[in-house]
Structure 1
Amino acid sequence: MLSDISGGLELRQADAVARALMTDDLLRAGRMIGQFCQGCGGAIGAVRLAMFPSTTRCSICAGSKLLAKGH
């Protein structure tokens, strides 16, 4: 995806904007597929999401006393 930049070629502004919008769309689509833990980055299980829809941590990180002190 970044081969143009690493190869020494510069992107036109329109190309850079198009790539930024595409990346944003991909990130939004990935967020809709599943939620990820803000502690470890792992996927939050469907059962935990069903019980706690607004959770931001997986069950392992939610049970960690060290991580609980941070929030």
Structure 2
Amino acid sequence: MQSEQILDLLSLFSYSSSIFDSDDIVRGWFSCEIPALSGSRPINLLDTFQGRAMVRDVLGRIERGEFS
């Protein structure tokens, strides 16, 4: 079970790195309050599958250029 969570986290970080061109930007984004996450910081949502899914969804919207 833990290995699945670790693989999901690695997948999420890899996905975020493909969207943002800089590891510094990735780290900053995960630490910022994101309005699309009701003001939550992505880093605080990574401990559950549902939280990671929410973060992944927001990253997908950024990738597609949907900023609303």
TM-score range, shorter chain: 0.3 to 0.5
Structure 1 or 2: more helix by fraction: 2
Q: Which has the higher contact order (CA 8 A, sep 6+)?
A: 2
TM-score, normalized by length of structure 2?
0.34
Larger Rg, first or second structure (1 or 2): 1
